[in-house]
Protein backbone atom coordinates (compact mmCIF):
# COMPACT_ATOMS: atom_id res chain seq x y z
CA UNK A 1 0.00 0.00 0.00
CA UNK A 2 1.19 3.51 -0.85
CA UNK A 3 0.49 6.20 1.76
CA UNK A 4 0.93 9.94 1.24
CA UNK A 5 1.00 12.36 4.20
CA UNK A 6 0.14 15.97 3.38
CA UNK A 7 0.68 19.17 5.34
CA UNK A 8 1.38 22.77 4.36
CA UNK A 9 5.10 23.14 3.62
CA UNK A 10 6.25 19.50 3.88
CA UNK A 11 8.96 20.40 6.40
CA UNK A 12 7.39 19.59 9.81
CA UNK A 13 4.30 17.43 10.30
CA UNK A 14 4.13 15.33 7.14
CA UNK A 15 7.83 14.33 7.09
CA UNK A 16 7.60 13.53 10.81
CA UNK A 17 4.52 11.38 10.21
CA UNK A 18 6.29 9.73 7.26
CA UNK A 19 9.31 8.86 9.41
CA UNK A 20 7.19 7.56 12.29
CA UNK A 21 5.04 5.38 10.03
CA UNK A 22 8.03 3.96 8.15
CA UNK A 23 9.70 3.07 11.45
CA UNK A 24 6.60 1.46 12.99
CA UNK A 25 5.65 -0.42 9.82
CA UNK A 26 9.17 -1.84 9.58
CA UNK A 27 9.13 -2.87 13.26
CA UNK A 28 5.81 -4.68 12.74
CA UNK A 29 6.72 -6.22 9.38
CA UNK A 30 3.98 -4.36 7.52
CA UNK A 31 4.99 -3.55 3.93
CA UNK A 32 4.15 0.07 3.16
CA UNK A 33 5.54 2.71 0.82
CA UNK A 34 5.29 6.15 2.42
CA UNK A 35 5.88 9.65 1.09
CA UNK A 36 4.97 13.15 2.16
CA UNK A 37 4.18 16.40 0.37
CA UNK A 38 2.82 19.86 1.00
CA UNK A 39 -0.04 21.88 -0.43
CA UNK A 40 2.19 25.01 -0.38
CA UNK A 41 5.66 23.46 -0.35
CA UNK A 42 8.77 25.05 -1.76
CA UNK A 43 10.32 22.10 -3.60
CA UNK A 44 13.69 21.01 -2.28
CA UNK A 45 13.51 22.64 1.17
CA UNK A 46 14.99 20.58 4.01
CA UNK A 47 12.93 19.28 6.90
CA UNK A 48 12.73 21.61 9.90
CA UNK A 49 15.68 21.28 12.27
CA UNK A 50 13.49 20.07 15.15
CA UNK A 51 11.82 17.48 12.89
CA UNK A 52 15.25 16.11 11.96
CA UNK A 53 16.32 16.09 15.64
CA UNK A 54 13.18 14.26 16.77
CA UNK A 55 13.43 11.62 14.07
CA UNK A 56 17.16 11.18 14.66
CA UNK A 57 16.44 10.61 18.37
CA UNK A 58 14.01 7.87 17.30
CA UNK A 59 16.72 6.27 15.15
CA UNK A 60 15.16 7.47 11.89
CA UNK A 61 17.57 9.00 9.39
CA UNK A 62 15.45 11.29 7.26
CA UNK A 63 16.64 11.99 3.74
CA UNK A 64 14.14 14.69 2.95
CA UNK A 65 13.58 17.43 0.41
CA UNK A 66 10.13 18.99 0.42
CA UNK A 67 7.82 18.44 -2.50
CA UNK A 68 4.47 19.78 -3.59
CA UNK A 69 1.43 17.64 -4.09
CA UNK A 70 1.29 16.66 -7.77
CA UNK A 71 -1.08 14.66 -9.95
CA UNK A 72 1.55 11.90 -10.06
CA UNK A 73 1.65 11.68 -6.24
CA UNK A 74 -2.15 11.63 -6.06
CA UNK A 75 -2.20 8.77 -8.57
CA UNK A 76 0.60 6.92 -6.72
CA UNK A 77 -1.16 7.03 -3.35
CA UNK A 78 -3.65 4.42 -2.25
CA UNK A 79 -4.37 6.45 0.88
CA UNK A 80 -3.84 10.19 1.46
CA UNK A 81 -3.72 11.42 5.04
CA UNK A 82 -3.75 15.17 5.66
CA UNK A 83 -2.81 17.03 8.81
CA UNK A 84 -5.89 19.30 8.78
CA UNK A 85 -9.37 19.53 7.37
CA UNK A 86 -8.19 22.52 5.34
CA UNK A 87 -5.52 20.42 3.64
CA UNK A 88 -8.14 17.77 2.85
CA UNK A 89 -10.51 20.36 1.38
CA UNK A 90 -7.76 21.84 -0.77
CA UNK A 91 -6.74 18.44 -2.16
CA UNK A 92 -10.32 17.47 -2.94
CA UNK A 93 -10.90 20.83 -4.63
CA UNK A 94 -7.89 20.50 -6.94
CA UNK A 95 -7.78 16.72 -7.32
CA UNK A 96 -11.30 15.30 -7.50
CA UNK A 97 -9.86 11.85 -8.18
CA UNK A 98 -8.45 11.95 -4.62
CA UNK A 99 -11.89 12.18 -2.96
CA UNK A 100 -12.39 8.47 -2.17
CA UNK A 101 -8.91 8.04 -0.68
CA UNK A 102 -8.35 11.30 1.21
CA UNK A 103 -8.89 11.70 4.95
CA UNK A 104 -7.37 13.71 7.74
CA UNK A 105 -5.02 11.50 9.75
CA UNK A 106 -7.28 11.74 12.81
CA UNK A 107 -10.43 11.12 10.77
CA UNK A 108 -8.97 7.91 9.33
CA UNK A 109 -7.98 6.86 12.87
CA UNK A 110 -11.64 7.34 13.91
CA UNK A 111 -11.06 10.40 16.10
CA UNK A 112 -14.56 11.90 16.45
CA UNK A 113 -13.48 15.36 17.62
CA UNK A 114 -10.88 17.79 16.32
CA UNK A 115 -9.35 16.45 13.11
CA UNK A 116 -6.46 18.93 12.95
CA UNK A 117 -2.87 18.42 14.05
CA UNK A 118 -1.40 21.79 15.00
CA UNK A 119 1.53 23.09 13.00
CA UNK A 120 4.71 23.37 15.12
CA UNK A 121 6.46 25.51 12.47
CA UNK A 122 8.69 28.08 14.14
CA UNK A 123 8.04 26.65 17.60
CA UNK A 124 10.35 25.25 20.23
CA UNK A 125 11.67 21.70 20.38
CA UNK A 126 9.05 21.03 23.06
CA UNK A 127 6.32 22.14 20.64
CA UNK A 128 7.66 19.70 18.03
CA UNK A 129 7.82 16.94 20.65
CA UNK A 130 4.16 17.56 21.43
CA UNK A 131 3.40 17.14 17.71
CA UNK A 132 5.49 13.97 17.69
CA UNK A 133 3.46 12.48 20.55
CA UNK A 134 0.20 13.31 18.78
CA UNK A 135 1.43 11.88 15.48
CA UNK A 136 2.71 8.75 17.24
CA UNK A 137 -0.71 8.14 18.79
CA UNK A 138 -2.63 8.45 15.54
CA UNK A 139 -0.08 6.73 13.33
CA UNK A 140 -0.23 3.74 15.69
CA UNK A 141 -4.02 3.72 15.34
CA UNK A 142 -3.94 3.77 11.55
CA UNK A 143 -1.25 1.09 11.49
CA UNK A 144 -3.49 -1.17 13.57
CA UNK A 145 -6.36 -0.40 11.21
CA UNK A 146 -4.24 -1.20 8.13
CA UNK A 147 -2.91 -4.46 9.58
CA UNK A 148 -6.41 -5.90 10.04
Cα–Cα distance, 33 to 50 (Å, whole number): 24
Closest CA to 120 of 111, 112, 130, 128: 128
Helix, strand, or coil (residue 67): coil
Closest CA to 54 of 10, 82, 20: 20
Give catalytic residue positions.
7, 13, 119
Cα–Cα distance, 100 to 18 (Å, whole number): 21
Cα–Cα distance, 65 to 46 (Å, whole number): 5
Amino acid sequence: MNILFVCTGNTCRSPMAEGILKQLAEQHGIPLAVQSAGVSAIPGAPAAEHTVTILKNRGVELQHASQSVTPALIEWADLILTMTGGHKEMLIHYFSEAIPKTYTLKEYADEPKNWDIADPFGGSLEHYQQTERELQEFVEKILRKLSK
